[in-house]
Amino acid sequence: MNWTDERVELLRKLWSEGLSASQIAAQLGGVSRNAVIGKVHRLKLSGRGRATAAPARQKKATQGASMQKSVARAASATRHVTASIGATALQVQFDAEPVARHYIRPVENVVVPISRNLQLVELTERTCKWPNGDPLSEDFSFCGNDAAETGPYCKYHARVAFQPAAERRRAR
């Protein structure tokens, strides 16, 4: 995948909207979050809301300890203003929806707790992929609860999806 003008533009847009690098990578497709971050840096559009501060990096014991000094110098020259002003305003977004809503309708006789209501691009290998709502609707989402050791669904939805043969027979 190469960075076409459209893709770069979309990257700029999503980044400015406060989406995380991995989310942007998911929407762009064909690139890793690292690729997105790398591109963001090359475009010099880092530092938008404070997600992780940028203290003096240092790392690896690689060669050339030369520039380490300049870093140290810059750090001591200090200018700890660390602006954290307009940053917080951007950090809102879809994360804060009132999931509180009434309960999930009783599916069979299995009780399912509150879902995280994730969007498709937010799913990972360990999020429950149980669909909630109408796929044709804008607010369609997936359960999203932890589904680590229980396959594609969280342990609750797994019980609904994978009923033991015996239980299914009895229910019928």
Partner DNA sequence: CCCTGATTCGC
Partner DNA sequence: GCGAATCAGG
Residues that bind DNA (CB under 7 A): 1-3, 19-23, 31-35, 37-42, 46-47, 51-55, 57-60, 62-64, 67, 71, 124, 126, 148
The distance of closest approach from Cβ of residue 103 to DNA in the complex, given in angstroms and rounded to an integer, is: 27
| Amino acid occupying residue 57 | R
CB distance 93 to 49 below 8 Å: no
Query: What is the rounded radius of gyration, in angstroms, for the C-alpha atoms of the chain?
Result: 22
The distance of closest approach from Cβ of residue 163 to DNA in the complex, given in angstroms and rounded to an integer, is: 27
Q: Which is nearer to DNA, 24 or 158 (CB)?
A: 24
Q: Which is nearer to DNA, 68 or 133 (CB)?
A: 68
Through-space distance between the first and last CA atoms of the chain, rounded to whole angstroms: 51
Residue 146: helix, strand or coil by DSSP? strand
CB distance 27 to 45 below 8 Å: no
The distance of closest approach from Cβ of residue 76 to DNA in the complex, given in angstroms and rounded to an integer, is: 16
Q: Which is nearer to DNA, 87 or 104 (CB)?
A: 87
